[in-house]
Amino acid sequence: MKTTIEALKLLKLGKSPFLIPPPADQINIGYQMFMMVTITFHYFSIPNAGFFLVYHILIIGFLLWLSNAANGKFVKWLRDFNPVIIIPSNFTELHYLVHNVNPIDYDQLLINIDYGIFGVHPTIWLENLSPPLLIEYFQIVYALFYFLPIILATLLYKRKAKDDFHFFVFVIVFGFYLSYATYFFVPAIGPRFTLNHLHTAPVTGLWFTESIRYTLNVLENIQRDAFPSGHTEITLLTMIYAWHYSRKFFWILSVIGTSLIISTVYLRYHYVIDVIAGILLALIVVFLAKPLYQSLLRFRQKGLISKASK
C-alpha cells in the first residue's frame, strides 16, 4: 500500500518512478544472478554458455520492465503469475548445466544412506507392493505436482486476498529456487536409473502411466534433481499454507499431497533420503520466509521513497 501511495505521488509530480520488483521477483532476479555467476565461473565447461548468460540477462530485464510497465490487464496478470512461466524454463536449463558444472554424481552416497537406514533398497522392497492400479494412482498424483501450488495461488487470487497471495507466491518461488541451487552441490539422477539393474520388474500401470511418464521424461530430459526432492518440498509447502489460507483445500491436499510424496519413492524417482531432505528444506523455507519477505518488502518501499524524495 505504501509503495502504491508513493508511486501516485510521483506521478502527480510528473515524475516516472522506478519501482523495485516485489519480493517474489527479487528472489527470481537473485536466482538469475546466481546462475550467471555459476555459468561465468564454469564458462569453458558449459556448451553454449554465452546463450545461457543472455537468457538470464533477458529474464532480469523482463522482471525489471514488468514492475515499471504501464498497467493493463495482461501486464497485471504477468506481474502476479510470471513464476508460472519462468520457473519451468529455469528448471529445463538445469539439464544442460548441472552436470557440466559439477560432473560428480552422488547417487552412490544416497543409496548407501538409504540402505544404512533400512537395511534394504526401498524402491526394490516396494516391488512387493506394486499392483498396477496403485501404480496408476500414484503416477497420476505425481503428475499433479506443478498444479497444486497454482491451484492454491489461484484460490487466493480469486478471493482477492492479495497479501496472502503475494506471500504464498514468494514462498513457492523461494522454495523452487532453493532446491534448484542445491542440485549443483549434490547432483543425483535417482534410483530409476541407478538401481534399474536390481529391479525385477518395471513400474507398470493400467491406462495412463506410460503416457504420463513419457511426457514427463520428454519435458524434463535427464535431470540431476533427485536430492533434495523438490516434489516433496513444494508439496509440503503448499499443504502448510493451505492449512492457513484454505482449510477445505488442505483436506483435499492431505490425501493428494501425502500420496504425491509417497509416489516419489514408489515410482523410483527419489531415494528416501531425498524425501527427508525435501521435508527439511520446506521447514527451512517456512522458517526464513516471513522475515525475508518483510525485509525485501521494506527494501522495495525504501527504494521508491528514496526516489520520491529527489
Q: What are phi and psi of 268, to 5 degrees?
A: 70, 25
Q: What is the pLDDT of residue 308?
A: 46
Residue ranges covered by each domain of the chain? 2-308
- What percentage of the chain has pLDDT greater than the value 70? 92
Q: Does the CA dihedral 66-54-189-102 come out positive or negative?
A: negative
Can you read off the three cell numbers belonging to residue 187? 547432483
Q: What is the pLDDT of residue 19?
A: 85
Q: What is the pLDDT of residue 14?
A: 43
b or e along 169-188 (b: 16 or more beta carbons within 10 Å of the residue's beta carbon)?
bbbbbbbbbbbbebbbebbb
Least confident of 96-100, 220-224, 274-278, 284-288: 220-224
Asked if the model's pLDDT at residue 12 lies above 90, the reply is no
pLDDT digits 0-9 by tens, 215-263: 888 878 889 999 999 999 999 999 999 999 999 999 999 999 999 999 9
For residues 212 and 140, the answer to whether their CB atoms sit within 8 Å is: yes
Q: What is the pLDDT of residue 303?
A: 65
When pLDDT is averaged across residues 257-275 and rounded to a whole number, the result is: 97
Q: What is the pLDDT of residue 282?
A: 98
Instruction: Please report which confidence band the pLDDT of residue 1 belongs to, taking 50, 70 and 90 as the band edges.
Output: very low
When pLDDT is averaged across residues 18-27 and rounded to a whole number, the result is: 92
When pLDDT is averaged across residues 151-161 and rounded to a whole number, the result is: 96
pLDDT digits 0-9 by tens, 39-48: 999 999 999 9
Q: What is the pLDDT of residue 217?
A: 84
Asked if the model's pLDDT at residue 13 lies above 80, the reply is no
225 residue type, one letter: D
Q: What is the pTM of this model?
A: 0.91
CA-derived radius of gyration, the chain: 21
Give the mean pLDDT of the chain: 91
For 47, what's the count of Cα atoms within 13 Å in the CB-facing half-sphere?
5
Please report, in angstroms and rounded to a whole number, the separation of the first and last CA atoms in the chain. 21
Q: What is the pLDDT of residue 71?
A: 84
